[in-house]
Structure 1
Amino acid sequence: MNRFVLIATPLLAVLLAGCSSTGTTTTPVVQAPVAAAPVVAQPMVPSSAQAVQTARLTTSVSSGFVDPAALGLMTAKDSTEANSAQFYALQFGRPGAPRQWAGDRGTTGSVSVGPYVRVNNLDCRDFTHTVKISGQDYVRKGTACREQTGNWNVVQGAA
C-alpha cells in the first residue's frame, strides 16, 4: 500500500493541477484603436521581366542621358554599362544613392537620381550622370520620365 500512495499522490497532484481554474470572472479584452498607415505613392514598376528588359534596351545613353562629348570617347561596353546603370538607377534607385558602373580602359561613371515626381500621369525623376574618361569628368543633368511602355526618356536635359 505504501508504494501505491507514493505513486498515486504525485499523479493525483498533476491531475488536479490540470483542472485548476483562476476563477469564473473574466476580464474583457479591449483593443485600442488602430491608426491607418499613411498611403505612400509607389512608382509604377513593370510587372514582368520582359517589360524590364524591353525598357532597358530602349533607354539609351545616346538619347540625352550622357554628355555628348563623352559619347564620342566611349566604347560599346562603356555604353552598355552606362545604359544599364542609368536604367536601374531610374527604375529602382534610392534618391541620392549613386549607382556606379565601369567600362573598358578605366572608364567609369555613376548615376544619381532624385525622388519620383508625377507629371502628366507619368513617373519622372531628375538624374545626374557622371562619366569619367582619362581623368576628366563629363556631367549630364536632366529629368527623365517613364512612358506608358516602360521606356525612360529625357524630357529636359542640361550640361
Structure 2
Amino acid sequence: MTRFAIIATPLLALTLAACASTGSNQVAQAPVAAPITPVYSAPLVASPAQTTQQALLTTSVSNGFVDTAALAQMSAKDSAAANTAQFYALQFGRPGAPRAWTGDKGTTGSVAVGPYVRVNNLDCRDFTHTVKIGGQEFVKKGTACREQNGNWTVEKAAA
C-alpha cells in the first residue's frame, strides 16, 4: 500500500461512519418536575417572639411586682402598661436605667432593675417598681427570677 492509501483509508472510514446514521432525529427530553407546593405547619419550637409574647402575658404585676395598695387603684390599662414595662425591664433592661410607663388618667410608673445574678440555675434580678397615682407614690422592691418557660416570678419582696 502506498502512503496515500494508508492515510486515506481511515479518513474515508470516518467520513462514511458519520454519514451512516439513519435513525430518526428525535431528541431525548429530560423529565420536567412539577412545581413544588409549599407546606406550612406550626413550628415545633417557639420562636423568641412567641416566647416573649407568652411570658409577657403570664408575667403579671398582680403577682407581687406592684404594691397592693397601688394595684387596687389601677385600671386595666394601667396594669397592662405596668406589666409590659416590668417584663421588658427584667428581660432586656440595663441595670439602673428605669423603664417608664404611662397609664390612664395621669397614672405613671417606672421599673428599675439590677444586674443579672445566677441563683439555683435561674437568672434573677433585683427590681424597684414605682407607681404614681393621684400624687401618691407607691414603691415595691424585690427580687424576680426567670423560670425555664420565660416567666418572671417574684422570689423575694420587700416593702
Q: Offset at 1:158?
A: 1.0
Q: Offset at 1:47?
A: 5.5
The yes-or-no answer on 1:100 pairing with 2:93 is no
Structure 2 unaligned spans of 5+: 1-45
* TM-score, normalised by the number of residues in structure 2: 0.71
- Corresponding residue for 1:53? 53
Q: Distance in 2 between matches of 1:156 and 1:102?
A: 26
Specify the code of the residue in structure 2 equivalent to 1:68.
T
Identity of aligned residues (%): 76
Structure 1 unaligned spans of 5+: 1-45
- Corresponding residue for 1:114? 114
Larger radius of gyration: 2
- Corresponding residue for 1:8? none
Cα-to-partner distance string for 1:130-155 (whole Å, 9 max, x where unaligned): 00000110000000000000000000
Cα-to-partner distance string for 1:32-88 (whole Å, 9 max, x where unaligned): xxxxxxxxxxxxxx9610000000000000000000000010000000000000000
Q: Offset at 1:156?
A: 0.2
> How many residue pairs end up in the alignment?
114
- Measured on the aligned residues, the alpha-carbon RMSD in Å equals 1.0
Counting only pairs closer than 5 Å after superposition, residues 134-153 of structure 1 correspond to structure 2 as: 134-153=134-153
Q: Secondary structure at the match of 1:72?
A: helix
Cα-to-partner distance string for 1:104-154 (whole Å, 9 max, x where unaligned): 000000000000000000000000000000011000000000000000000
* TM-score, normalised by the number of residues in structure 1: 0.71
- Corresponding residue for 2:65? 65
Q: Distance in 1 between matches of 2:152 and 2:117?
A: 14
- Corresponding residue for 1:22? none
Q: Distance in 1 between matches of 2:94 and 2:47?
A: 19
Q: Distance in 2 between matches of 1:141 and 1:47?
A: 31
Specify the code of the residue in structure 1 equivalent to 2:80.
T
Q: Distance in 1 between matches of 2:128 and 2:47?
A: 26
